[in-house]
Structure 1
Amino acid sequence: MMDNHFLLDLQSKKGIDEGIKFLLGKNYTRVKEFLSQYLFEESEEFDVAFDLRYLEHNIEIDWESIDISNLWIKSYHFTTRNNKADVFSSLIYNLPHMVTADTTLKTFFKKHHIEFDLENHLVHIEGKTYNIHEHDDDSHNPMYWIDAKLYTDPEVWAFARTLDISNYNNEFPDTPEFIKNVADILKDAESFLNDWADTFGQPFVIEFKEHLSKIKIYDGYDGEFSDDDGDSCLVMKKRLLNLLLSLYLRNLRKCGFEVFKEFLPEEDISKIAHALCRLNEHQTGDFDMILTSLLKGNNVAVENIINVWDYKEFQERSRLDNCLF
């Protein structure tokens, strides 16, 4: 195992706190002191958004001391299976593999007279052959989404953070997106979906880890740090710290008095109220959902699966871990 191994957890308040401490290292105490000033000083000079650019303008951060060479990201993959034990029996494969290799998904499709020929961009459905690429650019067209999931975004997708999975897709937790897309082309979608529910109808959330170098984080980054000497590692450090700061401040706003205990030994209602007013006025973006995807060609190894959650249990835990009681 390499030194300085760290598993970054963006899903819970505790994980966010630990992530900030890990990334900042010896910078942590100075940053925490400055954040305390920002929160409680009544001077108008602090009436601005607290983000990484603002922090760097006021505090010198030793970026060289921050080591992310062995940083891993925790993610959560939604699935439906026959039972929990099935999840631990094999890798989490990308979708093109699942529809073409010898898998239970391919077998299920064949049972319903569906077969994919990805090399020739074809899908055979109930005796008809469709070119997957030939469709209107209309998001209401199911073939549009089948094409996108197989060719444009074929990676293993997950959530680095989600407080309510059902907000991502109305079909969750009953039906994975791709299954619903295929069903929308069939003559008897109801029979197909009922059979899916009977065969693979138990919803689970797979918690897994992946090295930072093999996963992409969709954090809304718009290139604001790209001018930092073309150093991609430095840019990633700044992206991660900026994201963690946003999440940390989100928790201050949402969790209120409980979180402020680490700043104020004794509960001071007036100071906390002032801090909350400042945060609510200047901080935007809750990041209640952050997607991740493995880089193309990568699958989730069995040894990287941390846990398998029953869907309802995961939903309840997500709220508790983020002060949403």
Structure 2
Amino acid sequence: MGEQIIYDMTTLQDTIGSMSKLLGVDERQITKYCVSHKDDYDVEGFFSLLGLSEYSLLDFEIYITSLHVTTDKDNCSSVKKYGLLNLQQALIKDTPLRAYLEGFGVFIEIDKKQIKYHDKVFDISKEYNGINKPVDWIIYKLYRDFQLNSFFYSDNVLKYGGGIRRRPEFLYNLADFLGEPNIEYDWIKGTNCYVIKYKTAISQLADWTFDIDKDKIDYLDETEINIHKIKWFLNQSLRRINNEIFYNSIDDCYSYLKNDVFVPVSDILRVYSENEYLEEYRIRE
């Protein structure tokens, strides 16, 4: 196992510094390349210009940082106890989300694929085949889209749609499905928003995070897949640097953990309140 590197793209300077450490090149060389290749950056050309070998990327144990937005009524007690959980795990373990739903008489049984609501039992075992009814959103969120989604970088993670700054997106879908709007609205009362910065190994991220199609995976060996993934986030780094230097703006870059992965407490680097996040990243709203 090689030297561990925490690769951070959450700020411009962290991005340049992470590239410098991983590639063993001076930060000024990175900046110079980006300045002289406006909108024409490419990791292959960058490697060729500096005489770098892609196989040297495998000498390190790389962890990538991400920013995750969550809301909580109890000062992130669940996060401090369990780490960051995916939606299924958050509904199975003794978490504030599960306790909150049980307070409404809602019991979600992931394995049995059913939802109990007071004296009613809803079957959610049908095969997902697109979204046509409210129940389809429930099935999709619980069994297809339950992984942890975060940001490698963003202008402002708090501006992401879906109302994640106010409540878990799933509560909106559940309230709509059960016809009980207070399931969504009561969570918002007395809830605080947090931005959690964590690290994760490349192997813990879903392959489609890196734009690898299923057909390509079938004929690439493990070494080739790992190189592809590292070169992908190096290219995203060049993109971030380019856009911030020339346009003073960046697009969101998303990270998706594998379905069965959670973030242990030991991999959480920082828990920010909204104001702490905005101050740390110098964001004006």
State TM-score, norm by structure 2. Answer: 0.82
- Give the Å deviation of 1:3: 4.7
Q: State the partner residue of 2:253.
A: 290
Give the unaligned 5+ runs of structure 2: none
Q: State the partner residue of 2:61.
A: 70
**Change in 2 beyond 3 A, CA 1:122/1:37:** closer
Whole-Å separation in 2 of the counterparts to 1:57 and 1:9: 24
Q: State the partner residue of 1:94.
A: 86
- Greater shift after overlay, 96-105 or 73-82? 96-105
- Give the Å deviation of 1:296: 2.5
Q: In the alignment, is the contact (CA less than 8 A) between 1:219 and 1:290 conserved in 2?
A: no
Counterpart of 2:52 in 1: which secondary structure? coil
**Change in 2 beyond 3 A, CA 1:63/1:28:** farther
Counterpart of 2:178 in 1: which secondary structure? coil
Whole-Å separation in 2 of the counterparts to 1:20 and 1:180: 40
Q: What amino acid does structure 2 have at the position aligned with 1:8?
A: Y
Q: What amino acid does structure 2 have at the position aligned with 1:12?
A: T
Identity of aligned residues (%): 20
| Count of residues in Structure 1 that have an aligned counterpart in Structure 2 | 279
Q: In the alignment, is the contact (CA less than 8 A) between 1:71 and 1:212 conserved in 2?
A: yes
- Give the Å deviation of 1:300: 1.1
State TM-score, norm by structure 1. Answer: 0.73
Whole-Å separation in 2 of the counterparts to 1:165 and 1:100: 27
Q: In the alignment, is the contact (CA less than 8 A) between 2:66 and 2:153 conserved in 1?
A: yes
Give the unaligned 5+ runs of structure 1: 40-47, 256-285
2:198 corresponds, among 208, 231, 241, to 208
Q: State the partner residue of 1:182.
A: 174
Q: In the alignment, is the contact (CA less than 8 A) between 1:123 and 1:131 conserved in 2?
A: yes
Whole-Å separation in 1 of the counterparts to 2:112 and 2:212: 36
Q: In the alignment, is the contact (CA less than 8 A) between 2:86 and 2:262 conserved in 1?
A: yes
Q: What's the C-alpha RMSD, in Å, of the aligned pairs?
A: 3.2
> Does residue 114 of structure 1 match 2:109?
no
1:1-325 alignment, distance < 5 Å: 3-26=2-25, 35=34, 37-38=36-37, 49-55=40-46, 60-67=51-58, 69-84=60-75, 86=77, 87-134=79-126, 139=131, 141-189=133-181, 191-198=182-189, 201-216=191-206, 221=211, 230=221, 231-255=224-248, 288-320=251-283
Counterpart of 1:295 in 2: which secondary structure? coil
Counterpart of 2:165 in 1: which secondary structure? coil
Whole-Å separation in 2 of the counterparts to 1:150 and 1:188: 19
Whole-Å separation in 2 of the counterparts to 1:8 and 1:136: 36
Q: State the partner residue of 1:282.
A: none
**Change in 2 beyond 3 A, CA 1:61/1:229:** farther
- Give the Å deviation of 1:103: 2.9
